[in-house]
Amino acid sequence: MSKINITGMTLEEMEEFMASIGQPTFRAKQLFNWLYKRRISDIDEITVFSKKFRSELKEKTEMGHLEIVDRQISADGETNKFLFRLRDGHFIESVFMVDGKRRTVCLSSQVGCALGCSFCATGRMGFKRNLSVGEIVAQLLAVLKAMGTDATNLVFMGMGEPFLNYENVINAATLIGHSDGIAVGRRKITISTAGLVPQIKRFADENQGYKLAISLNAADDATRSELMPINKKYPLRQLIDAAKYYSERSRHLFTFEYLLIAGVNDRKKDVENLKKLLRGVRCKVNIIPYNPTDDRWEAPTEETIEYFLRELLKLHIIVSVRRSKGADIDAACGQLYHFYQDEKQS
């Protein structure tokens, strides 16, 4: 008989399971709490269960731990990047970042990604498969256990396009938010999309309450399609309309992420196009100076970053510059995986 994986189970599912083996409902709440809040590594650690009951649980269930195969720590110690091996041999990455009092975990939602953005190492892997709810939650549990702390914020900005694994990402986020478990609140969880228009509208209609970030990265269709092929399917006009729809329906501000790359999307005409595009849109803009990983592109100059910031502030919107954390380790999504593969082959 195959064992039931309890990592990723909701409280209701645990209640059903306990009922199915003749146990009272409160046992489910205990299991939920020990698994997600106390972050046990083994059923035997649940001291409120009798030895006999623990043996029965071990016979019938298993925990979906992920194996850490590599971990890189930035020189300042504030960024930790984890490479996990899944049970089927695939790899995924998660990143833990400290910034003042914020402790943010960046989670993967898929193995690889089908969208092939030209600046992204994960895009080069192609799409392998979606992560299950259990695998998404197991990443977080493993990172928090390794770091010995809680997370204040979560971002779905690791490997994969979260909106192409919509149900599992939303279900995982709901589970992560449960007050008897990991307990990261909705407004502390950000889901980042490359700009899938139907899913942005669905997210708005469902009023999920999580924060939304959209990778914009260019203000004209030709440049954006070059950087992000998904733009050919959902061009800028459709994307902006969907983003406006989201802010009207949800009444929440969303963030446009703009990866600033020297000579590609940091020209004077780019900022002018961007100002035109964003006029009247209720949003924040996050400028992320490109962190070169090979010879293909270069980082923007400080003057250009300042110029973009100044010009966008004229729109009376919130604009910030996010320096990439962990620039000395392979902290952009998909880079640790490629590094690991290269090492194995050398």
By C-beta, is 155 or 319 nearer to ligand SF4?
155
Q: Is 143 in the site for ligand SF4 (CB under 6 A)?
A: no
Ramachandran region, residue 221 (left: φ > 0; alpha: ψ -120 to 50; beta: rest):
alpha
Footprint of ligand SF4 on 186-225 (CB under 6 A): 194
Return d(Cα 16, Cα 38) in angstroms, integer.
Answer: 22
Among 120, 131, 191, 196, binds ligand SF4 (CB under 6 A): 120
Q: Is 62 a catalytic residue?
A: no
Q: Is 93 a catalytic residue?
A: yes
Q: Which of the following is catalytic: 62, 206, 333, 343?
A: 333
Q: Is 122 in the site for ligand SF4 (CB under 6 A)?
A: yes
Q: From residue 99, how far is each of 105, 142, 147, 323 by CA, in Å? A: 11, 20, 14, 11
Q: Residue 262 in 3-state DSSP? A: coil
Return d(Cα 177, Cα 136) in angstroms, integer.
Answer: 13
Q: Which of the following is catalytic: 59, 78, 93, 303?
A: 93
Among 15, 93, 135, 161, binds ligand SF4 (CB under 6 A): 161
Stretch that binds ligand SF4, among 44-52, 153-161, 218-226, 289-297 (CB under 6 A): 153-161
Evaluate whether 44 touches 290 at the Cβ level (below 8 Å).
no
Q: Is 116 in the site for ligand SF4 (CB under 6 A)?
A: yes
Evaluate whether 323 touches 339 at the Cβ level (below 8 Å).
no
By C-beta, is 231 or 304 nearer to ligand SF4?
231
Return d(Cα 21, Cα 284) in angstroms, integer.
Answer: 50
Stretch that binds ligand SF4, among 96-104, 119-127, 167-175, 245-253 (CB under 6 A): 119-127
Full DSSP string of 164-192: GGHHHHHHHHHHHH-TTTT---GGGEEEE
Among 223, 333, 335, 336, binds ligand SF4 (CB under 6 A): 333
For 207, other C-beta atoms within 10 Å of its C-beta total 11
Among 31, 98, 106, 117, binds ligand SF4 (CB under 6 A): 117
Catalytic residues: 93, 333
